[in-house]
Amino acid sequence: MTDLASAQGSELLTGSLPDERLLVKSRRVTKQFGGLVAVNEVDFDIPRGSIVSLIGPNGAGKTTFFNMITGFYTPTAGTIDFDGQPIVTQRRNRMKGKKPHEVAELGIGRTFQNIRLFGTMTALDNVRVGANVHLRSRWWDAVVRAPRMLNEEAATLDAAMDLLRLVNLEDRAHAWARSLPYGDQRRLEIARALATRPKLLLLDEPTAGMNASETQEMTDFIRRLRTEFGLTVLLIEHDMRVVMGISDRVTVLDYGTVIAEGSPLEVRQNPRVIEAYLGRGAAEH
Amino acid sequence: MTGATESPKYGTGLTGWAAHVGEVLSGLPAAYRRELGSNRRRAIVLTILAILAVTYPILNRFFLQGFSRNVFPLPLPDDTVVTFMMIFGIMAIGLNIVAGFAGLLDLGYVAFYALGAYTAAFLASPHFGSVSFVVLANVANGFPGIHLPFWIIVPLAVLVAGTFGALLGAPTLRLRGDYLAIVTLGFGEIVPVVFRNMADVTFNIGLGPISIVADHLNLTGGPLGINPIDAPFLPFLNIRFNASAGFAPVYLGMLLLVVGILVARNLERSRIGRAWMAIREDELAAEMMGVNTLRTKLLAFALGASFAGVAGSLQSSYLGATTSDFFQFSTSILVLIMVILGGIGNIWGVLLGAIALTYVDKTFLPYLGQQIQAIAPSFPNPAQFNFLFFGLTLVVMMRFRPEGFLPNRQRAAELTVHGLIAAEIARGEEVGVDNLGMAPPGQDEVAGDARAAETVDESEKE
């Protein structure tokens, strides 16, 4: 992981690393909604232990791509492998994707662009719902309060409190999610995603609506997730300071296709990227 | 992060479970004293209510019945009505799992009630007179029909109703909201009609060498239903829990109700309960966080249905007869009204709703009818307009207290701004005495309320 952290973005380009070093490998992924091609034949690799950003103008297909990795959408064509396992498979002419809860179980946690916490559940219970995927006690254990369920609940409580501590919300464990301030809600959403014990964390605009100091805190926190938990992070972000600050590699989507890929510096200077963001002609100036 | 490596807190296996149960039971007196210390008035009121509830049938029999009409302004419910309070209480708690915990609108809940009732009718009556199958039942060997004891029928009714709940749920739970309500409504209509019409069944199924033939088989007794059904019987004490047994059936109902309350409460406070709530809050987010939403909803549906199975088997065994007329759409609606009026999502609320509505339906309105008939014989009997009263009550409640008599705080917050703020305040108070050994939040309540109100404003703007 340390070698990745110091690696140049261009060394992490899609197709340049062997499969065993990839956590996500997508090939020719396409998603069509009726006549609209939202994502068009995208090849996209996420190396293990890296922080990769996906950027692009509004409507470029970033969130659609996210939703295909998490199993919410099934691609129209193409393959996505996660940790060596296919998330979508093609059977004859039909694409069959894993369901979101199965993907979560494989080890992909996510947050949402507009926060989607369980509003009238406590912060603690929100995190415990995230842990649900690893709990093995069944309903009859709950009915009779079997020891294995009680032990599991006790361990879950401890683990959830640890996660709340990690995001500085241990004091608000019993507050309802919807009553928390905005920044706390963002961090609670990450804690909930971490409770699923992901290998890959997908963050959809984690600093949206934050001020400069909150943004800095969040950036540091994301970096910490990689170093302390060995997480791989895929980031959708509009704030270029965040993207440039923490990404090992940046991939730029426009109209559903990859128009540039490389280290933050390379991408920033790429004329096609400037054109996509600022319009034709801007690149020449 | 896992915590799985720590030494387990509770011993495993049956001994561990027994030790835990013993611990909980032996801790009850201390918990009661604590409650008495922290909220004396509430503890005393609840204690008196509990004692009254448990002793009511005896009090009614020996003291109240004799002079009730002249002393109390309202009539007291008799043993039959109280037994039905228990039956509807079980159903309300079961529907609360589906509608309250998981947020699924089930308008055909009566179907499972019918399935429970007919399970008992098939397995403890002379209906299938061509066979004689008597096991541990209170009838002579060789008596025609299938006769199983009530204590075996109840788990079977749970199984039958739960299985049908799962069968209905499997294809339909992909539907959301209104669509699910319509499909369950259809199921609720179909089941009683099937029971009404399967009195003359003729078929011939050939499966290779085996052929199953039925020639004008009377499967369900048709519009006449099935009777007599064996009453629940307690050997050794020789108690038959039927309509002529005084208050004994009340206690049978109470026993089943208490078991139902425990089961529902234990489910609510488990990972399944949390998953149900998460689905109710945001199904998509729950799915993304690894909750198998389809399976979890199916579980709510099947478990909720099994409560109605228990209620149905108790009802038909107690009455000694069943016909499809008992299981009309109006019963589904009645139970739903109990849940909503009582306080959707709160076990004690829906229980209160069941007791109150059964009282109004079976004691108060008939009494009112008698009084009115005595004064003005030509005036319509209000007992025939029970749903008019329930409907009006519902309208009034929805206007002034949509969260029900004894609301669940979460559901109240979903329904009203006021509920959210009240719940936040209550929550703040609760955190101070929580059992997790954590300090209460440092913020003062006013700030918390302002923030809560703000959040509501924002979400309304969206």
Range of the domain at A43: 2-107+199-284
Closest CA to B336 of B304, B313, B309: B304
- Are A227 and A152 in the same domain? no
* Percent of chain A scoring above 70 in pLDDT: 94
Are A27 and A156 found together in one domain? no
ipTM: 0.91
pLDDT at B436 over 70: no
Nearest to B278 among A129, A152, A153 (CB): A129
Residues A246, A146 within the same domain: no
Task: Measure the CA–CA gap between A161 and A127, rounded to whole angstroms.
Answer: 9
In a domain, residue A112? The reply is: no
Contact, A95 vs A74, CB < 8 A?
Answer: yes
The residue among A116, A127, A31 whose CA lies nearest residue A80 is A31
Let me know whether A221 and A238 are in one domain: yes
Q: Verify whether the Cβ–Cβ distance A132 to B271 is below 8 Å.
A: yes
**B349 and B407 Cβ atoms separated by less than 8 Å:** yes
Query: Tokens in use for B150?
Result: 């009530």
Beta carbons of A143 and B267 less than 8 Å apart: yes
Partner B contacted by A86 (CB < 8 A): no
- Pair A86, A210 in one domain: yes
Residue B111 has pLDDT above 90, yes or no: yes
Reported confidence tier of residue A7, pLDDT bands at 50, 70, 90: low
Higher pLDDT, A229 or A189: A189
User: Residue B226: in which H helix or E strand, if any?
Assistant: none
Cβ distance B452 to A128 less than 8 Å, yes or no, reads no
pLDDT for res B439: 34
pLDDT band (50, 70, 90) for residue B419: low
Identify whether residues A226 and A173 lie together within a single domain. no
Domain boundary among A129, A164, A197: A197
- B-interface mutation test, from A166, A179, A190, A224, most B Cβ less than 10 A away: A179
Residues A224 and A148 in one domain: no
A255 near B CB under 8 A: no
Whether residue A184 lies inside any domain: the answer is yes
Q: Lowest mean pLDDT of A11-25, B65-79, B441-455, name the range.
A: B441-455
Task: Give the residue extent of every domain in chain B.
Answer: 19-73, 77-385
Does A129 lie at the interface with B, CB-CB under 8 angstroms?
Answer: yes
Contact (Cβ atoms closer than 8 angstroms) between residue B20 and residue A150: yes
User: Quick one: A143 and A173 in the same domain?
Assistant: yes
Helices B417-431 and B445-461 pack at an angle, to 10 degrees, of: 150
Q: Which residue has the higher pLDDT, B148 or B2?
A: B148
Q: Which residue of A has its CA nearest to B12?
A: A147
The span from the CA of B178 to the CA of A255, in Å, is 37
For residue A251, the tally of other CB atoms under 10 A from its CB is 27
Distance CA B226, CA B224 (A): 7
Give the residue from A161, A176, A197 where a domain finishes: A197
The encoded tokens of residue B182 equal: 């319509």
Total domains, chain A: 2
> Would you call B412 helix, strand, or coil by DSSP?
helix
Q: Name, of A127-131, B169-173, B321-325, B386-390, the range with top average pLDDT.
A: A127-131
What is the DSSP-derived secondary structure letter of residue B230?
Answer: P
Question: Which of A261, A258, A253 is closest to A236 using CA atoms?
Answer: A253
* CB-based contact, A4 to chain B, within 8 Å: no
Write down which residue in A197, A215, A236 finishes a domain: A197
Q: Global pTM?
A: 0.86
Could you tell me if A13 and A93 lie in one domain? yes
Residue-wise pLDDT for B266-284, tens only, equals 999 999 999 999 999 999 9
User: How far apart are the CA of A161 and the nearest CA of chain B, in angstroms?
Assistant: 10
Q: What is the pLDDT of residue B98?
A: 95
Give the Cα separation of B62 and B56 in Å (integer): 10
Minimum-distance CB partner of A137 among B21, B271, B410 = B271
DSSP state of A176: B
Contact (Cβ atoms closer than 8 angstroms) between residue B25 and residue A145: no
Within 8 A of B274 by CB-CB distance, chain A residues are: 121, 125, 128-129, 132
Q: Does A117 touch chain B (CB under 8 A)?
A: yes
Closest among B401, B448, B396, B411 to B103, alpha carbons compared: B411
Q: Label residue B143 by pLDDT band (50, 70, 90).
A: confident
Among candidates A116, A139, A171 on the partner chain, residue whose Cβ is nearest the Cβ of B285 = A116
CA distances from B370 to A26, A67, B28, B164, B387 (A): 77, 65, 46, 41, 18
pLDDT score, position B430: 47
- Position B195 pLDDT exceeds 50: yes
> Do A102 and A212 reside in the same domain of the chain?
yes
pLDDT score of B12 = 73
CATH number, domain B77-385: 1.10.3470
Q: Do B271 and A171 touch (CB under 8 A)?
A: no
SS3 of A87, please? strand
- A 167-206 near B (Cβ less than 8 A): 170-176, 178-179, 181, 192-197
